[in-house]
Amino acid sequence: MTNTRFALITGASSGIGEACAVELAKKGKNLILLARRAEKLESLKSTLVKEYGVEVLVHVVDLVNIYEIESFFKGIADRDVDVLINNAGLALSKTPFEDYKWEDFDQMINVNIKAFTRVAQLAIPHLKKTKGHIVNISSIAGIEAYEGGSVYCASKAFVKMISKALRIDLIGTGVRVTDIAPGNVETEFSMVRFKGDREVADSIYKGYAPLSAKDIADTIVFALSRPENVNIEYLLIMPTAQASATRTHKV
């Protein structure tokens, strides 16, 4: 990891994205951080610049708008990006398929599938130039469907399969592709899914030790720091007390 190169992180203002920004900054990595929330990005930037002396560029991008993604990439055309952490994604609600609000399906498809795909596509020329590394964040939901999870689970299966396809399409370029699939990580994820219902959101993480965003970020830093001939292709990471998407031992 050299100093003129940048790691690009989507969904960088909280959770796994923010933790990746922190852990990479600790390693001296320059960062390009994307999110919707300007204040959170600015405050993260000032902490990272002060604490670790890295260069941090922040961009407020609404990933639902593909034109904003395209215009962002035009703006960083002369930057050397050698890491993409394609992290932005969300679940909205946990509801039987037929009762789901279309707007929730639409939002998940827009962010988890469409934006995810366009970001990866536009990052690839950078990564080919730098022989870089794409880290896609999927989920245990990408390999196990569960009640009320329909489109969210399907969107994460999409991430898993695109990751595999990218490995094939990028073979011979030196670009590495890693799919990190977390289980229960205590972040804003559940507050977003349950639309601000703190009690329900907290109940997801009660009675056992869930993963922290840092646990995932540490693993990502490990994958990124392997020698060039080593591609960690897929890692499923769960709390010790979680054995499947629907089986968590709580006390």
Sites of contact with ligand 8X3 (CB under 6 A)? 139-141, 183-184, 245
Task: Tell me how far, at minimum, the Cβ of 76 lies from ligand 8X3, in Å.
Answer: 28
Q: Which is nearer to ligand 8X3, 14 or 139 (CB)?
A: 139
Identify whether the C-beta of residue 24 lies closer than 8 Å to the C-beta of residue 221: yes
If the CB atoms of residues 110 and 112 are measured against ligand 8X3, the closer one turns out to be 112
The end-to-end CA distance of the chain, in Å, is 43
Helix (H, G, I), strand (E, B) or coil at 212: strand
Q: Which is nearer to ligand 8X3, 132 or 210 (CB)?
A: 210
Active site residues: 152, 156
Closest CA to 45 of 25, 63, 69, 62: 25
Min CB(198)–ligand 8X3 separation in Å = 17
Bridge partner list, 235: 180
- What is the closest distance, in whole angstroms, from the C-beta atom of residue 141 to ligand 8X3 in the complex? 4
- Min dist. Cβ of residue 32 to ligand 8X3 (A): 24
Name 185's bridge partners: 211
Nearer to ligand 8X3 by Cβ, of 132 and 182: the residue is: 182
Q: Which residue is nearest to ligand 8X3 (CB)?
A: 139
In the chain, the DSSP E strands lie at 5-10, 30-35, 56-60, 80-86, 133-137, 176-182, 185-186, 211-212, 234-237, 242-244, 247-248
